[in-house]
């Protein structure tokens, strides 16, 4: 609730300043910049509050099914940008071809309304349970499984609707776009169905169905009444461990590789005289959303076999590596293929970070511990992969007096540098996997 209120305040302030409802005309440029930066910090704090608590709650309430549940939630997160955008386009009569249209400024107001709607009311009904015994029962497993499958169906409907609306927004009437926006809101609210008791099944024969092992113990858990290792680390304790750094670097590379792609995709396609960046970005969004869902479920599959979810990160790095190798080819076809592969790798990082941080450092401080990974990987990844590396190389190959670069040299070295960084991250995660097992 607090996080939603902070985000609402930040986005509303952005909107009020940009539309001059709050007139800053008498202030100098640096004062305005500082004020807007403070709004950004408030928005980030709100987002972090929501993110940390949501995933800590999911892990604690579903300890044996956390991969699937976290993956499902992360799938929704992956679609949120598209959802907000298509809701805005449906209800605000903005000129889609004119980015200078002043009505675009009202996107911040729509985002503010969405944030408060999606957080304030639901927060009144969510409870946190510390690993209740029932979570290991066959009935609980079946009930979670049924709801997760429903959630996958709802997520798929949302993905199809958002992508369809985005692809058709220039060829259909405004009434149709408004219809898409209404449909998106309805689908957005439909997970309320998952609270329906009619989805429950009763315990059959007691215990786990068919003797299925619902949760394989890893670090910090008990086997035969014997505690393996007591792990419940705070942030300060966590950062002093080797495992923290071994896992942080692969996460930073995976997330940074994806952010670097999304930040520079227009210039990447433009450098080879292609305008396919918008369609490619749509494919990236859909791919990384599906990858989030799949990676979360795969963590549970591996856990049942006594394996760590860190293996999924290794797989994600392989996809990221293949994606950037495709970029090296520097043709339109290979760029599209690379975007899809990078989408799979980027999306896989998000649910696995939650699961592996819980495995390595315990669940007592999971909210804060996870946000260290989320925040550091996103911030450093954005600066390193999204700005410093590509910007220097792009500017170095731009003709004097020009603002755009054309030719394979514009990004070629950037692609090779990222390939090298991905390979180093693969070594790091391989060492961590060995240490865990």
Report the CATH number that the domain containing residue 362 is assigned in CATH. Answer: 1.20.1250.20
Q: What are the phi and psi torsion angles at 207 (to 5°)?
A: 70, -165
Q: Which two tokens stand for residue 123?
A: 């927060």
Q: Average pLDDT for residues 79-102, to the nearest whole number?
A: 82
The pTM for the full model equals 0.74
CA–CA separation, 352 and 74 (whole Å)? 10
Residue 333: HSE in the Cβ half-sphere, 13 Å Cα cutoff: 0
Q: Is residue 142 part of a domain?
A: no
- The percentage of the chain sitting over the pLDDT mark of 70, rounded to a whole number, equals 90
Q: Is residue 424 part of a domain?
A: yes
Q: Which two tokens stand for residue 108?
A: 């911040």
CA–CA separation, 257 and 343 (whole Å)? 10
DSSP state of 383: I
Per-residue pLDDT of 109-162, as tens digits, reads: 888 988 888 887 777 766 665 554 455 567 777 888 888 888 889 988 988 898
CA–CA separation, 373 and 247 (whole Å)? 9
pLDDT value at 240 more than 70: yes
pLDDT value at 332 more than 80: yes
Q: Is residue 421 part of a domain?
A: yes
Q: Which residues, 6+ apart, have CB-to-CB distance to 354 below 8 Å?
A: 55, 58, 59, 66, 70, 74, 366, 370
Q: Is residue 369 part of a domain?
A: yes
- Spell out the long-range contacts of 419-425 with Cβ–Cβ below 8 A and sequence spacing 24 or more: 419/321, 419/324, 419/325, 419/328, 421/253, 421/257, 422/253, 422/257, 422/317, 422/320, 422/321, 422/324, 423/321, 424/249, 424/253, 425/249, 425/250, 425/252, 425/253, 425/254, 425/317
Q: Is residue 83 part of a domain?
A: no
Q: What are the phi and psi torsion angles at 8 (to 5°)?
A: -60, -45
- The percentage of the chain sitting over the pLDDT mark of 90, rounded to a whole number, equals 32
Please report the pLDDT score of residue 203 as a whole number. Answer: 57
Q: The domain containing residue 408 runs over which residues?
A: 217-437
The pLDDT confidence band at residue 375, using thresholds 50, 70 and 90, is confident
Bridge partner list, 223: 226
pLDDT value at 69 more than 90: no
Looking at every residue in the chain, the average pLDDT score rounds to 84
Please report the pLDDT score of residue 219 as a whole number. Answer: 43
> Left, alpha or beta for 210 (phi > 0: left; psi -120 to 50: alpha)?
left
What is the residue whose two structure tokens read 């790091």? 428
pLDDT value at 70 more than 90: no
Q: Is residue 370 part of a domain?
A: yes
Q: Is residue 292 part of a domain?
A: yes
Q: Other CB atoms closer than 10 Å to residue 193's CB: what's the count?
A: 13
Q: Other CB atoms closer than 10 Å to residue 225's CB: what's the count?
A: 5
CA–CA separation, 292 and 347 (whole Å)? 5
Q: Range with the lowest mean pLDDT among 131-145, 273-287, 401-415? A: 131-145
Q: How many domains does the chain have?
A: 1
pLDDT value at 18 more than 60: yes
Q: Is residue 300 part of a domain?
A: yes
């Amino acid at each position: 609730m607090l996080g939603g209120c902070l985000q609402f305040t930040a986005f509303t302030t952005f909107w009020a300043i940009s539309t001059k409802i709050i007139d800053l005309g008498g202030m100098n440029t640096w004062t305005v910049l500082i004020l807007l930066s403070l709004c950004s910090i408030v928005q980030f704090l709100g987002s972090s509050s929501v993110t940390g608590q949501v995933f800590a709650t999911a892990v604690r309430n579903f300890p044996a099914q956390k991969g699937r549940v976290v993956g499902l939630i992360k799938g929704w997160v992956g679609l949120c940008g598209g959802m907000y955008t298509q809701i805005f386009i449906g209800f605000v009569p903005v000129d889609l071809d004119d980015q200078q249209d002043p009505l675009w400024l009202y996107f911040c107001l729509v985002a503010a309304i969405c944030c408060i709607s999606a957080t304030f009311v639901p927060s009144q009904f969510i409870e946190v349970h510390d690993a209740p015994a029932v979570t290991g029962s066959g009935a609980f497993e079946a009930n979670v499984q049924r709801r997760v499958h429903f959630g996958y169906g709802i997520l798929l409907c949302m993905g199809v609707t958002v992508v369809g609306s985005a692809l058709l927004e220039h060829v259909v009437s405004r009434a149709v776009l408004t219809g898409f926006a209404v449909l998106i809101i309805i689908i957005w609210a439909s997970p309320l169905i998952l609270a329906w008791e009619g989805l429950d099944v009763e315990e059959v024969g007691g215990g786990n169905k068919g003797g299925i092992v619902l949760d394989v113990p890893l670090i910090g858990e008990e086997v035969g009444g014997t505690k393996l290792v007591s792990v419940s680390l705070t942030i300060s304790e966590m950062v002093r461990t080797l495992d923290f750094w071994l896992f942080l670097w692969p996460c930073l590379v995976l997330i940074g590789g994806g952010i670097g792609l999304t930040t520079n995709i227009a210039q990447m396609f433009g450098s080879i005289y292609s305008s396919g960046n918008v369609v490619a970005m749509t494919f990236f969004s859909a791919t990384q959303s599906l990858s989030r869902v799949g990676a979360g479920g795969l963590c549970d599959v591996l856990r049942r076999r006594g394996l760590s979810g860190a293996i999924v990160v290794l797989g994600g790095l392989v996809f990221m590596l293949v994606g950037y190798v495709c970029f090296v080819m520097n043709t339109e076809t290979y760029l599209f293929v690379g975007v899809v592969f990078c989408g799979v790798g980027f999306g896989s990082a998000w649910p696995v970070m939650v699961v592996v941080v819980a495995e390595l450092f315990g669940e007592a401080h999971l909210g804060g511990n996870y946000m260290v990974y989320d925040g550091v990987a996103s911030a450093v990844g954005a600066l390193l992969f999204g700005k410093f590396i590509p910007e220097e190389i792009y500017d170095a190959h731009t003709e004097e007096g020009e603002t755009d670069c054309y030719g394979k040299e514009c990004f070629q070295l950037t692609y090779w540098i990222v390939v090298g960084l991905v390979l180093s991250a693969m070594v790091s995660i391989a060492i961590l996997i060995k240490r865990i097992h």
